[in-house]
Amino acid sequence: MMSKNKQFVEKITAMEDDFAQWYTDVVKQAELVDYGLVRGTMIMKPYGFAIWENVRDALDRKIKETGHSNVAFPLFIPESLLEKEKDHVEGFAPEVAWVTHGGDEELAERLAIRPTSEVLFCDYYSKNIHSYRDLPKLYNQWANVVRWEKTTRPFLRSSEFHWQEGHTAHATDEEAAKETDQMLNVYADLAENYLAIPVIKGRKTEMEKFAGAKYTITIECMMHDGKALQAGTSHHFGSGFAEAFDITYLDKDGKSQFVHQTSWGLSTRIMGALIMVHGDNRGLVVPPRIAPTQAMIVPIAQHKEGVLDKAYDLRDKLADIVRIDIDASDKMPGWKFNECEMKGYPVRIEIGPKDIEKNQVVLVRRDTNEKEFVSIDELEVRLPALLEEIQQNLFDKALAHRNEKTTVVKSMDELEKALKENPGFLKAMWCGDEACEEKIKEETQVTSRCIPFEQEKLADTCFCCGKKAKEMVYWARAY
């Protein structure tokens, strides 16, 4: 059995040796994705898509609970429409894929394959909002978008990816600000309470904000290798897009006013975060609340009489309580154990002839590898409780890791030292000057992640230039 186990595990590189290769190995071996034919595209396989579906469904519920309706807008954007908001088109132009022909015929106007759909919603709103009675408009769509990326990695940066994009229009700036906050909180709740990923909420600097936005707020999280990942963003547009697209309404006094807009998005990128926050050298670890399979039954000595029957009974008994499956294939148990670990099922349930005699099973936690003998009669209570413990433990572990990987720095020397010794989040005071931000980025590839809502005063002066500090900023190298 040992040699078979080894064979399986050897398929993934240890994360300490080569984190990037570890990531690629896990993505492949856990059967999440395969590479598409066009560079930078990916095929989401059944298991990868099942995890994404659970993330998507949880988020979709929250989007609807907060009063939004789902819609489906077209894939194509006429070039002239994309060019209407100047900052926006400049931000996206380098990544746009264009359709130039329909059959053999050259099109009179090029069509962009949506990199994001702000302009389509703006055009629609300009035609469909007339009065204050038409507001607010609270739309969301689940869609795939295309961005022609130069370097790509599954989930993290792909030329085509899946996401949701919310687009809303409001009567006032304050209402739009409230919406922007609300949706960031929805993302934070999803990340922390479903994906067990602790996040830092804050505002992006001017340099890092969305092209065309008044401001952008973000949730940022820390990966196992000390790199940060932006997991979801929410943008307040003010009336910038409304002015470019002439989206006006008549207020209660009959005066024409511009609407105030927001947009917010969360993509399959969060799957990358899930892998890199919780995964280990045995493979993927999926938090129970979004795991397609929360418990996998592995029968031991299944050829012996009664074992499979009992295992199937167990599955049927628990199927209403947890998402449970059974591996009754003819592979060796050791192989099945490894597969359970690679796929990151939160709990493995072992049941063999001796267990049946004692009316018990063995529960093995994926997160800690701990074993526990539980009476079959107690399983309906114990198993859901164990899943909750695992969910909490994953969050606690990720938070402890983030704290370990967070360093306060007060000078560029301290920043460079931290990058060498303990790369992660660098908390530092900043003067607010883009020149410092540029310099830091150029010299160290570190970018500002966010100006956290929870501010601390760590020093009086900017860690880069020594001038008077304005705000505390989280900095990091990022995906």
Q: Which is nearer to Zn ion, 458 or 465 (CB)?
A: 465
> Of the two residues 297 and 462, which places its CB atom closer to Zn ion in the complex?
462
> Shortest gap between Cβ of 231 and Zn ion (angstroms)?
27
Q: Is residue 314 a contact partner of residue 361, using CB atoms and an 8 Å limit?
A: yes
In whole angstroms, how close is the CB of 467 to Zn ion at the nearest point? 5
Both ends of the chain: CA-CA distance in Å? Answer: 39
Residues that bind Zn ion (CB under 5 A): 431, 433, 436, 462, 464-465
Place of tokens 């290769």: 21
Residue 170: how many other CB atoms lie within 10 Å: 20
Closest CB 208 distance from Zn ion, rounded Å: 16
Q: Which is nearer to Zn ion, 1 or 435 (CB)?
A: 435
What is the closest distance, in whole angstroms, from the C-beta atom of residue 437 to Zn ion in the complex? 8
Minimum Å gap between C-beta 454 and Zn ion is: 21
* Beta-bridge partners for 165: 141, 265
Q: Is 145 in contact with 159 (CB distance < 8 Å)?
A: no
Closest to Zn ion by CB, 196 or 462 = 462
Retrieve residue 318's tokens: 């628990």
For tokens 């009959």, what's the residue?
254
Under DSSP, is residue 396 helix (H, G, I), strand (E, B) or coil?
Answer: helix
The least CB distance from residue 434 to Zn ion, in Å, is 9
In the complex with Zn ion, the residue whose CB is nearer, 50 or 465, is 465
Of 31, 70, 69, 65, whose CA–CA distance to 50 is shortest? 31
Kindly tell me which of 384 and 432 has the beta carbon lying closer to Zn ion. Answer: 432
Question: In this complex, which beta carbon is closest to Zn ion, that of residue 315 or of residue 467?
Answer: 467
User: Which is closer to Zn ion, CB of 328 or CB of 465?
Assistant: 465
Distance CA 269, CA 155 (A): 5
Q: Please, how many CA atoms are within 13 Å of residue 137, restricted to the half-sphere of its CB?
A: 27
CB of 413 to Zn ion, least distance (A): 15
Tokens 């190298």 belong to 477
What are the φ and ψ backbone dihedral angles of 394, each rounded to 5 degrees? -65, -40
What's the residue count for the chain? 479
Element (H, E) at 48: helix 46-65
CB of 91 to Zn ion, least distance (A): 25
CB of 419 closer than 8 Å to CB of 444: yes
Q: Which secondary structure element, helix H or strand E, spans residue 174, and what is its range?
A: helix 173-193
